[in-house]
Structure 1
Amino acid sequence: MSSKIAVMADPDTVTGFMLGGIKDGFPVELAEAGDKLKELSKEYSIIITTEKIGDEFRDIIEKLSSESALPMIIEIPDKEGSVERESDPIRELIKRVIGVEMVE
């Protein structure tokens, strides 16, 4: 797997990241995001997606994350803002990758 970065999200989020320099952007509708995530996980080492997609396809993300350290799937808020959650996926990612739990 190469060290490539992809953004898979709604068109506005993808456009923003591409304007910021990310070359590989994949605008998706929520219904097709699960299949696209599986496809991208074979080629990209970092996949940036939105929290809404992450919540909808949590089972796929957890399966991919448990099988290997890569791809690293990073969930960000979309243009509507953060989703309220009991646990923070970024905090869990840091704990899994470096083995340290961050405390507030």
Structure 2
Amino acid sequence: MKIAVMGDPDTALGFKLAGAHEVYSFGSSPLEIERANNKLKELVERDDIGIILITETLAQRVEVPEVEFPIILQIPDKSGSRFGEAQLREIVRRAIGVELKR
């Protein structure tokens, strides 16, 4: 199974440098958002994609389908997470039962 990444140019570049093969970069114009919507639909329909990582900012602007597979995870972009640090800690604690401390 492959991991696909969708996000802004800076996030996409970071994942490309990290060795990700399926990386898609989108701007913020209406045409780019339409392209992102189409790409997300295409990725969801592919059998070889297991995880789709999409930046939180992009996920707010596209229609993210409610599917069980592939797994679609929202990730922070260069501007940080839309969730606060405390909320992220709580999400991790509930998900895996581990409390993160600094």
TM-score (norm 1): 0.67
Compute the displacement of 1:10 (Å): 1.0
Compute the displacement of 1:54 (Å): 1.5
Query: Is the 8 Å Cα contact of residues 14 and 26 (structure 1) preserved in structure 2?
Result: yes
Distance 2:66 2:16 in 1: 25
Give identity over the alignment, percent: 38
Compute the displacement of 1:50 (Å): 0.3
Greater Rg by CA: 2
Q: 2:14 pairs with 13, 16, 34, which one? A: 16
TM-score (norm 2): 0.68
Number of residue pairs the alignment of both structures matches: 85
Superposed, 1:1-104 pairs within 5 Å as: 3-30=1-28, 31=33, 32-43=35-46, 44-57=49-62, 60-61=63-64, 63-65=65-67, 69-84=68-83, 91=91, 101-102=94-95
Deviations 1:71-96 (A, max 9, x none): 111111111111147x86xx4xx9xx
RMSD: 2.3
Query: Mind listing any 5+ residue stretches in structure 1 that lack a counterpart?
Result: 95-100
Query: Mind listing any 5+ residue stretches in structure 2 that lack a counterpart?
Result: none
Distance 2:39 2:56 in 1: 16
Distance 2:10 2:75 in 1: 13
Distance 2:53 2:60 in 1: 14
